[in-house]
């Protein structure tokens, strides 16, 4: 019984630390909301919470080309985007590109499935091999990258952390995204 209590306490402490780290990283050290993110500019470094519960900083992806995709888990075009990426995940895998799929803060106030369940439902192959990384965006990150609450927006980030392409709806723009990746290499 004593061992169960110690293990439960340790798990609770780790969970609390992860949540605190998430909010510290997501604040980016500023109170600014709604930044102007443009092609050629550095991508603002915010933290987010990976679906596995770990706090992650966007800067941890420097050194790799990354797609930062903001979705709502109740969004039909976001589901279609997952299906398109799932069908083409080999392209991203071959180029060493990670797709960080971020559920917008509190799913923009609507109820949907968890981000991990959403990605696994529509992109099981891409999720299973680590091409798509499901995560939760905090309030500040959502405000910085999607201040108007649009659905299905993504940013292609260079290996040095600069924005090199901005678009939406991967289901409709997959060819353009792949071209932008090819040009950036």
- pLDDT score at 184: 83
Q: How many domains does the chain have?
A: 1
Q: What is the overall mean pLDDT for the chain? A: 83
Q: What is the pTM assigned to this prediction? A: 0.80
- pLDDT score at 35: 54
- pLDDT value at 131 more than 70: yes
> CB-hemisphere CA count at 13 Å for 55?
17
Token pair 């050290």: residue: 29
Dump pLDDT digits (tens) for 70-128: 999 999 999 999 999 999 999 999 999 999 999 999 999 999 999 999 999 999 999 98
* Nearest-5° Cα angle at 22, 20 to 23: 70
In a domain, 39, yes or no: no
For the segment 28-55, the average pLDDT, to the nearest whole number, is: 76
In a domain, 65, yes or no: yes
Task: Please choose, from the candidates 64, 133, 147, the residue with its C-alpha nearest in 3D space to the C-alpha of residue 104.
Answer: 147
- pLDDT value at 169 more than 50: yes
In a domain, 17, yes or no: yes
**CATH at residue 8:** 3.40.30.10
Show the tokens assigned to 165: 């392409």
Dump pLDDT digits (tens) for 9-26: 434 333 333 333 333 333
In a domain, 33, yes or no: no
In a domain, 98, yes or no: yes
- pLDDT score at 129: 87
Domain assignment of residue 98, given as a range: 2-26+44-184
Give the CA-trace dihedral at 134, 136, 142, 145, to 10 degrees. -30
């Amino acid at each position: 019984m004593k061992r169960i209590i110690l293990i439960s306490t340790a798990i609770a402490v780790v969970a609390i630390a992860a949540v605190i780290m998430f909010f510290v990283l997501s604040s980016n050290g500023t109170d600014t909301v709604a930044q102007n993110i443009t092609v050629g500019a550095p991508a603002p470094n915010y933290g987010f919470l990976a679906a596995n519960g770990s706090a992650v900083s966007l800067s941890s992806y420097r050194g790799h080309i990354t797609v930062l995709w903001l979705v709502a888990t109740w969004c039909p075009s976001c589901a279609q985007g997952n299906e398109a990426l799932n069908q083409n995940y080999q392209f991203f895998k071959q180029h060493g590109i990670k797709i960080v799929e971020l559920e917008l803060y509190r799913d923009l106030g609507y109820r949907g499935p968890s981000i991990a369940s959403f990605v696994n439902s529509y992109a099981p192959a891409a999720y299973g091999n680590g091409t798509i990384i499901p995560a939760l965006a905090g309030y500040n990150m959502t405000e910085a990258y999607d201040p108007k609450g649009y659905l299905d927006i993504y940013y292609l980030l260079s290996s040095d952390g600069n924005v090199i392409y901005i678009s939406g709806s991967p289901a409709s723009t997959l060819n353009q995204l792949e071209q932008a990746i090819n040009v950036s290499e």
